[in-house]
Amino acid sequence: MTLFLALVLVVLVAAAAAYLARSRAAGLRASGGGRLNSLPGYHAAFAFLWAAVPALLFLAAWAPIQEQLVNGAVLASAAGRQLPDFDLARANILGEAYQLATGQIAAAISPDAARIAPVYREALGRYGLIGGGFALLLAIAGAAWALTRVRATFRARSGVEKWLMGLLVAASLIAILTTLGIVLSLLFESLRFFSMVPATDFLFGTQWSPQTALRADQAGSSGAFGSIPLFWGTVFIGAIIAMIVAIPLGLMSAIFLTQYAPARLRSVLKPMLEILAGVPTVVYGYFAALTVAPLVRDLGLGIGISSASSESALAAGLVMGIMIIPFVSSMADDSIAAVPQAMRDGSLAMGATRSETIRKVILPAALPGVVGGVLLAVSRAIGETMIVVMAAGLSANLTANPFNSVTTVTTQIVQLLTGDQEFDSPKTLAAFALGLVLFVVTLLLNLIALHVVRRYREAYE
Amino acid sequence: MSKPLIQAGPATRWSGDEMKRRVARRYAAERRFRALGLAAVLLSLAFLAFLLVTMIVRGAGGFSSTFLTASDATDPAMAGVWGALKGSMLTILVTMALAFPIGVLAAVYLEEFARRNRWNDLVEVSINNLAAVPSIIFGLLGLAVFLKVMNLPRSAPLVGGLTLALMTMPVIVIAGRNAIKAVPPSIRDAALGVGASKMQVVFHHVLPLALPGILTGTIIGMARALGETAPLLMIGMRAFIAAPPAGVTSPATVLPVQIFLWSDEVDRAFVEKTSAAIIVLLVFMLMMNGLAIYLRNKFERRW
C-alpha cells in the first residue's frame, strides 16, 4: 500500500464518517429527540476532523521515517551490501531503484538499480502497509469515537471550534518556525564554515578569492575568505550610491506630492511612481547591465577615467537608487503627514512662504521619520540581489572609484551556490556565513529604524 | 487729531525697494523649490518611461507564435517562454495554496484572539521582521531545509512555491490584519449580541467584510512572488529546461529566472528574446496590480 493510497482512504473514511454523523444528527432532529445543541453540519465537521486530522498528522510524520526504514532495509539486504560506499553514487542508484520500483520509469540505466529494485519494492510495500494500515486504523477509530458522540445534547460546535482555534494557533506558529528555521540553518552552516575558516579571517580579511578552493589538491586550496571587500562593495553600492540617488529624488517627490501637487495631479502621479516599486528586480538588473552600464562606462571614459569598467559600481547603484525612490518617497510622505497641522499653520501665519515652512519647520520635525525610512531603504538596498548580480562585477576590489567594479555580499552568495558542487566545501558554506551577516545587519537596521520611527510618532501624539 | 496707527509713506520698512527685492527673492526661492519638487517626480517617471521604452523597442520584434508556445532552446529562434510561464504558474499556485490560508488564519488569530502576552509579541515581532528579511535569505532557508534536510527535488515548482510562500506569508498577514482591523467593532457586537460564538463572529461576519482588503494585499504579495528571482536561484532553478514542467515536482524554470538565464547568453539574438520575455512578465505584473487596484476601488468601504 503506498502512502498516497492511504491518504485517499483516510479522506474517504473521514468523508463517510461526516456523512453518517450528519444523517444521524438529522435523524435525531426528525425523530423529535429534543432540540439539537449543534446543527447537523457541525456534527459532520466534528466527525470529519476527528477521523482525518490525527491520521493525516501521523502520515506526515511517517513519510520521512518510512524513507529511512526502506533505505536501511535495502542497504542491509544482500544486493544492497554490494552497492558502492560513495554517498553520491549510492544515492543515485537508490533514486533510480525507487523510480523503477514505483513504476515511474520502465527500465534502469544502471544494472545495480535493476538488481535492488525488487528488494526496494518489497521493503516499500512492507513499510507502506504498516504505516498506511496504522493511519487507516487511526482514522476509523477517530470516526467511530466521533460517531458515538452524536446526541442531541452534544456540543459539536464547541468541539469544532476548538479544532479551529488549534488551526489558528498553528498558522501563527509558522511565522516563528520560519524565523527559527532561518536563524538555525544560517547559524548551523556558518558554524561549520567557521570550523574550517577562522571567523576573524572571514570578518576582517581583505582578500576574497573563494574560487581557488575549487580543487582540493591545489596549493592554497582553502581559498581566501576575507569579506571586507564584499562588505565595502555592498555599502558602496547600496548605502552610498543608491542613497545619493534615492534620498533627494524620493524626498523631493514626497514634498511635491504632499505639499504642492493638486489632489488630481497627485492621484495620477503617485500610482505611477509606485509602478517603479512593482517592477521586478530582474528587469532592473537587465536594464542596468544592458543600457545603463555602457552609458556609465562611456561617461567614465569620456571624463578621462581609463579604468572605467562595464560592470561599474555606479551603474548598479544608480539603478538600485531608482528602484528605492518610491520606497523613500512613501516613507517621507508618511512622516511629513504626521507633522501636526498646527506647526504648519503657525509658520505660515508668521509670514513664511511654503518652501520656508517646509525647510525650516516641517522637515526638521519630520526628520526622525525620514531617517527611519532611509534606514529601511538601506536595509532593502543591501539585501537586493538581482540588480547587483547582473550589473555589478565579481572582482572583490576595495575601491572608492564609482567607475570601477566592486562586488557585493548578495552577488557572492549567488556566485558561491551556483552549480552542483558538494555541499560541505568551505566555498558553499561561505555563502551561509555571508547570509548570516546579511541577515543580522538587515535585522539591526530594521529594528533601529522601527524604534526611531515609533519614538518619533509618540512625540506628536 | 490722533496719529494713524500705521504710517503710510516711504518712511516705513515695509514698502521700500529693499523690501520689494527681499519679497521677490523669497518668491523666486519658492518657485525654484516647487520646480525642484516637480523635477524630482518627473525625473523618476522619466527613468520608468526610459526603461519601458527600451524594453518595448528591443523586445517588440521577439514576439511570434513560437515564442509564446515553445520552451527554452539553445537556438534563439526556437526559444520561447511557455515553459517558463507554466513553471511560474505552478510555482505561484503552490505559493498561493500555502500562503493565503496560513496568512489569513494567522492574521485572524493575531487580530481577534491573541491575548497580549510575551509569546504573541514574539509572533508579532517575527512576522514584522520576516516581511523585511532580504529575499535571498529565504532562498538559503529553502536550500538548507527543503533540499538538504527534507530531500525535496531540486529546481521543482513545489520547492520554489514553498520558499516563496514563506516569503509572501508575512505580507498577507500584515495586509490581513489591517483589513480585519478596519471592520468596525459594531459588526462584532451585533453578531455577539444575537448569540453568535466568537468563531462564528469572525468567520461569518468579520472575515467576509475584510476579504476585499485581504485579497488586495494577497494579489500584491503574489505579484511580488511572481517577479522574484534570487531565492529561486538558490534552490537550483537555474538549469536549462527544454520542456514545460509536467507537475509540481518536475524540474522547471520560472519567467524571471528565464530572463536572467537569457540575459547571460552571448548570442545577440537573445537580447530580443530577453526583452520580449520582460514585456510578458511586466504585462502579468500590471494585470495583477490592476486587479488589486480594481478590487480595492470596487469593494473598499469607508465605515
Residue A167, in any domain of the structure: no
Residue A171, in any domain of the structure: no
pLDDT at A393: 80
Residue B139, in any domain of the structure: yes
**B55 has a chain A CB within 8 A of its CB:** yes
Judgement on whether residues B35 and B159 belong to the same structural domain of the protein: no
Which B residues 83-112 touch A at CB under 8 Å? 101-103, 105-106, 108-110
A208 three-state secondary structure: strand
Nearest to B144 by CA among A430, A186, A12: A186
Under 8 Å CB-to-CB from A116, ≥6 apart: which residues?
Answer: A74, A77, A79, A80, A83, A93, A94, A97
Which position has the higher pLDDT, A29 or B114?
A: B114
pLDDT at A312: 87
Could you give the C-alpha distances from A377 to A381, B195, B264, in angstroms and in order?
Answer: 6, 48, 28
The separation between CA A51 and the C-alpha centre of its own chain, rounded to angstroms, equals 34
Judgement on whether residues B41 and B98 belong to the same structural domain of the protein: no
Give the domain-ending residue among A138, A154, A170: A154
Per the CB < 8 A criterion, the answer to whether A257 and B268 are in contact is: no
Judgement on whether residues B224 and B75 belong to the same structural domain of the protein: yes
| pLDDT tens-digit series, residues A315-341 | 999 999 999 999 999 889 888 888 889
Nearest to B201 by CA among A346, A184, A164, A273: A164
Distance (Å) from the C-alpha of residue A5 to the closest C-alpha of chain B?
Answer: 18
Residue B160, in any domain of the structure: yes
Q: What's the rounded Cα separation, in Å, for the pair B225 and B281? A: 12
Which position has the higher pLDDT, A371 or A35?
A: A371
The answer, yes or no, to whether residue A293 has pLDDT greater than 60, is yes
Distance (Å) from the C-alpha of residue A304 to the closest C-alpha of chain B?
Answer: 26
Judgement on whether residues A248 and A118 belong to the same structural domain of the protein: no
The answer, yes or no, to whether residue A218 has pLDDT greater than 50, is no
Note whether B45 contacts A390, CB cutoff 8 Å. no
User: What ipTM was assigned to the predicted interfaces of this complex?
Assistant: 0.88
pLDDT at A206: 80
Residue A210, in any domain of the structure: no
Residue B98, in any domain of the structure: yes
Which residue, chain included where needed, has cell 444523517? A23
Residue B239, in any domain of the structure: yes
Q: Report the share of chain B in percent with pLDDT over 90.
A: 49
pLDDT at B11: 54
Give the domain-ending residue among A154, A183, A204: A154
Per the CB < 8 A criterion, the answer to whether B127 and B170 are in contact is: yes
Per the CB < 8 A criterion, the answer to whether A143 and A14 are in contact is: yes
pLDDT band at B44 (very low <50, low <70, confident <90, very high): very high
Q: At what angle do helices A363-383 and A426-460 cross, to 10 degrees?
A: 160
CATH number at residue A371: 1.10.3720.10
Phi, psi of A407 (to 5 degrees): -125, 160
Is the Cα torsion angle A428, A433, A434, A435 positive or negative in sign? Answer: positive
pLDDT at A458: 67
**pLDDT (average), residues B31-37:** 93
Note whether A173 contacts B39, CB cutoff 8 Å. no
Nearest to A459 by CA among A368, A331, A334: A368
Per the CB < 8 A criterion, the answer to whether B289 and B220 are in contact is: yes
Q: Report the share of chain A in percent with pLDDT over 90.
A: 29
Judgement on whether residues A258 and A391 belong to the same structural domain of the protein: yes
Residue B5, in any domain of the structure: no
Q: What's the half-sphere exposure (Cβ side, CA atoms, 13 Å) at A368?
A: 15
| pLDDT tens-digit series, residues A243-278 | 999 999 999 999 999 989 998 998 888 888 888 888
How many CB contacts within 8 angstroms connect chain A with chain B? 245
* DSSP 8-state assignment for residue B113: I
Size of chain A in residues: 461
**pLDDT (average), residues B167-196:** 93
Under 8 Å CB-to-CB from B202, ≥6 apart: which residues?
Answer: B108, B112
Note whether A178 contacts B166, CB cutoff 8 Å. yes
pLDDT band at A80 (very low <50, low <70, confident <90, very high): low
- N-term to C-term CA, chain A: 65
Residue A192, in any domain of the structure: no
Per the CB < 8 A criterion, the answer to whether B166 and B129 are in contact is: no
Note whether B197 contacts A157, CB cutoff 8 Å. yes
Judgement on whether residues B168 and B37 belong to the same structural domain of the protein: no
Could you give the C-alpha distances from B38 to A111, A180, A254, in angstroms and in order?
Answer: 73, 46, 10
Which amino acid appears at position B68 of this protein? L
Longest dimension (CA), chain B: 102
CATH number at residue B109: 1.10.3720.10
Judgement on whether residues A150 and A274 belong to the same structural domain of the protein: no
DSSP characters over B136-155 = HHHHHHIIIIIIIIS-PPTT
| Lowest-confidence region among A64-78, A149-163, B5-19, B95-109 | B5-19
Residue B9, in any domain of the structure: no
Q: At what angle do helices B157-182 and B82-108 cross, to 10 degrees?
A: 40
Phi, psi of A225 (to 5 degrees): -120, 45
Q: What's the rounded Cα separation, in Å, for the pair A198 and A195? A: 7
Give the domain-ending residue among B62, B78, B98: B62
Distance (Å) from the C-alpha of residue A32 to the closest C-alpha of chain B?
Answer: 24
Judgement on whether residues B83 and B45 belong to the same structural domain of the protein: no
Strand runs (DSSP E) across chain B, as ranges?
A: none
The answer, yes or no, to whether residue A87 has pLDDT greater than 70, is no
Nearest to A28 by CA among A14, A15, A38, A16: A38
**pLDDT (average), residues A341-349:** 92
The answer, yes or no, to whether residue A109 has pLDDT greater than 80, is no
Nearest to A143 by CA among A47, A56, A253: A47
Q: What is the mean pLDDT of chain B?
A: 87
Note whether A171 contacts B227, CB cutoff 8 Å. no
Which of A252, A384, A439 faces B40 most closely, judged by CB atoms? A252
Give the domain-ending residue among A99, A133, A154: A154
The answer, yes or no, to whether residue A216 has pLDDT greater than 60, is no
Which position has the higher pLDDT, A274 or B98?
A: B98
Which amino acid appears at position B87 of this protein? G
Which position has the higher pLDDT, B155 or B5?
A: B155
Per the CB < 8 A criterion, the answer to whether A116 and A83 are in contact is: yes
Which position has the higher pLDDT, A94 or B103?
A: B103
Judgement on whether residues B234 and B137 belong to the same structural domain of the protein: yes
Residue B286, in any domain of the structure: yes
Judgement on whether residues A245 and A143 belong to the same structural domain of the protein: no
The separation between CA B45 and the C-alpha centre of its own chain, rounded to angstroms, equals 19
Could you give the C-alpha distances from B184 to A407, B179, B205, B207, B295, in angstroms and in order?
Answer: 51, 10, 11, 12, 20
The domain tally of chain B equals 2
Report for A209-223, B11-25, B280-294: range of highest mean pLDDT: B280-294
The three cell numbers of residue B27 are: 518668491
Model pTM score: 0.86
Note whether A290 contacts B271, CB cutoff 8 Å. yes
pLDDT at B30: 93
Judgement on whether residues A150 and A244 belong to the same structural domain of the protein: no
Interface test with A, best of B23, B42, B51 (most A CBs within 10 A): B51
Q: What's the rounded Cα separation, in Å, for the pair A285 and A292? A: 10
Judgement on whether residues B30 and B136 belong to the same structural domain of the protein: no
Judgement on whether residues A430 and A283 belong to the same structural domain of the protein: yes
Judgement on whether residues A111 and A237 belong to the same structural domain of the protein: no
pLDDT at A262: 92
Q: At what angle do helices A111-148 and A3-30 cross, to 10 degrees?
A: 10
pLDDT band at B263 (very low <50, low <70, confident <90, very high): confident
- N-term to C-term CA, chain B: 63
| pLDDT tens-digit series, residues A144-153 | 888 888 887 8
Residue A285, in any domain of the structure: yes
Q: What is the mean pLDDT of chain A?
A: 84
Nearest to B143 by CA among B236, B229, B256, B228: B236
Judgement on whether residues B30 and B130 belong to the same structural domain of the protein: no
Judgement on whether residues A109 and A254 belong to the same structural domain of the protein: no
pLDDT at A219: 45
The answer, yes or no, to whether residue A93 has pLDDT greater than 80, is no
Q: What's the rounded Cα separation, in Å, for the pair B281 and A206? A: 40
| Lowest-confidence region among A31-40, A408-417, B264-273 | A31-40
Judgement on whether residues A150 and A237 belong to the same structural domain of the protein: no
Judgement on whether residues B180 and B197 belong to the same structural domain of the protein: yes
Q: Report the share of chain A in percent with pLDDT over 70.
A: 89
* DSSP 8-state assignment for residue A152: T
Judgement on whether residues A240 and A359 belong to the same structural domain of the protein: yes
Residue A105, in any domain of the structure: yes
Judgement on whether residues A233 and A142 belong to the same structural domain of the protein: no
Residues in B closer than 8 angstroms to A353, CB to CB, are: 26-27, 29-30
Residue of chain A with shortest Cα separation from B283: A279
Which amino acid appears at position A169 of this protein? V
Nearest to B166 by CA among B248, B120, B98, B87: B98
Distance (Å) from the C-alpha of residue A64 to the closest C-alpha of chain B?
Answer: 8
The three cell numbers of residue A326 are: 518610491
Q: What's the rounded Cα separation, in Å, for the pair B166 and B129? A: 12
Note whether A178 contacts B126, CB cutoff 8 Å. yes
**pLDDT (average), residues A411-419:** 83
Domain coverage including residue B23: 17-62
Residue B10, in any domain of the structure: no
pLDDT band at B141 (very low <50, low <70, confident <90, very high): very high
Report for A225-229, A429-433, B29-33, B70-74: range of highest mean pLDDT: B29-33
**A389 has a chain B CB within 8 A of its CB:** yes
| Lowest-confidence region among A12-21, A384-393, B235-244 | B235-244
| Lowest-confidence region among A121-135, B68-82, B251-265 | B68-82
Domain coverage including residue A54: 3-154
Nearest to A10 by CA among A154, A195, A124, A137: A137
| pLDDT tens-digit series, residues B221-241 | 999 999 999 999 888 887 787
**A88 has a chain B CB within 8 A of its CB:** no
The domain tally of chain A equals 2
The three cell numbers of residue B63 are: 514576439
Note whether A283 contacts B134, CB cutoff 8 Å. no
Judgement on whether residues B290 and B172 belong to the same structural domain of the protein: yes
**pLDDT (average), residues B120-149:** 89
